[in-house]
Structure 1
Amino acid sequence: MQQYTRLQTVIANIPYSIMILLGAVIISLGSGFSLAGLIGATGYILYGIAGSAWTMIFICPYCAYYATRSCPCGYGMLSARMVRRGEGSCFSEKFRRHIPVLVPLWFIPVICGGIALWFSPSWVLAGALLVFSINSFVVLPLVSRKHSCSECPQKDDCPWMSVGIRKDNQRLTA
């Protein structure tokens, strides 16, 4: 397994960090930087941090990268400082069970920004939403699949990598 440097780990986390920061900007912009919007943006950032911690606590202990520098995002090493290793054979089950906790992070800014645009159109907010969407729905998944997931020893058993694959392991075509 490849060993990742700290720089590579930082680079692997950039799309997620951008998603969280842009999401907070969208929530703030959408509220006109009101107190409620700033509180919402702060809550979103805390949710993003909690989502990473949730992953480290409930998914990473079951991963083959646990406690190694082979984890591209560095979560495996951090997870080892928080919780004990789990049974690796149930990684897929744990991933499926816990990943839905993170899914709202992709949609909260889109919903908040969309509502704000409906009531008060703004090119700045529209641009932020566009950049957020490209980063969150295109760049982040591509980085995950092409960088992190492509080298993963558990990719054959991973729900994320099996999207678009039938039960008989044949890729679906358009």
Structure 2
Amino acid sequence: MREYTRGEVFRANLPYGVMVVLGACVIAACVGSSAAGVAWAGLYVLYGIAGALWVMRFICPFCAYYNSRGCPCGYGLVSARIAQKGEKTCFSEKFKRHIPVIVPLWIIPVLCGGYALLRGFSLPLLVLLVLFVADAFVILPLLSRKHSCAECPQRDDCPWMGQRGGR
């Protein structure tokens, strides 16, 4: 099993981090640069962090990379600190059950940004929204498929990879 360096783990997590930051910026731009805008953006960032922890707690214990440096995103080592190992055969079931918890991270900024743009055009908001969509729906999935998923021993059983055939 290949072991990943801290630099590789950082690069693997960068698109998700960028997505969360851009999503927060979209939300703040929609609400305005008021205390409410900052608060909603902050809640979105907290949701992004909680979403990653949720994956580590409820999906990663069932992964073949649990508690190893073989996990491309580094979640396997963190997961071992917060959850006990589960059965690898349950990975697909756990993935299907828990991944919907983080899906709104991809949807909320698009809905907020789209609605705000319908109410009144804003070039800065449009730019933020385009950057968010490019990162969340193109860059992040592409890098996941080519980097993390391509080398995963569970890719054939993965609900996400199995449907998209990105081997």
Q: TM-score interval w.r.t. the shorter chain?
A: over 0.9
1:153 aligns with 2:153: yes
Q: CA RMSD in A?
A: 1.1
**Cα distance per residue 1:30-70 (max 9 Å; x no partner):** 11212222111011000000000000000000000000001
Q: Which residue does the alignment assign to 2:33? A: 33
Cα distance between partner residues in 1 of 2:156 and 2:17: 27
Cα distance between partner residues in 2 of 1:78 and 1:22: 25
- After the TM superposition, which residues 21-170 of structure 1 pair with which residues of structure 2 at under 5 Å, given as runs? 21-164=21-164
Cα distance between partner residues in 1 of 2:97 and 2:104: 15
Shift of 1:118: 1.3
Structure 1 runs of 4+ aligned residues shifted over 4 Å read none
Cα distance between partner residues in 2 of 1:37 and 1:121: 18
Cα distance between partner residues in 2 of 1:40 and 1:32: 10
Cα distance between partner residues in 1 of 2:16 and 2:47: 12
Q: Which residue does the alignment assign to 1:8? A: 8
Shift of 1:120: 2.0
**Cα distance per residue 1:105-141 (max 9 Å; x no partner):** 0010011111111112111100110010010000000
Shift of 1:143: 0.7
Percent identical residues: 57
Cα distance between partner residues in 2 of 1:90 and 1:164: 20
Shift of 1:154: 0.5
Paired residues, number: 166
Q: Which blocks of at least 5 consecutive residues in structure 2 are unaligned?
A: none
Cα distance between partner residues in 2 of 1:43 and 1:19: 14
The one-letter code matched in structure 2 to 1:14 is: L
The one-letter code matched in structure 2 to 1:97 is: R
Q: Which blocks of at least 5 consecutive residues in structure 1 are unaligned?
A: 166-170
Cα distance between partner residues in 1 of 2:164 and 2:146: 15
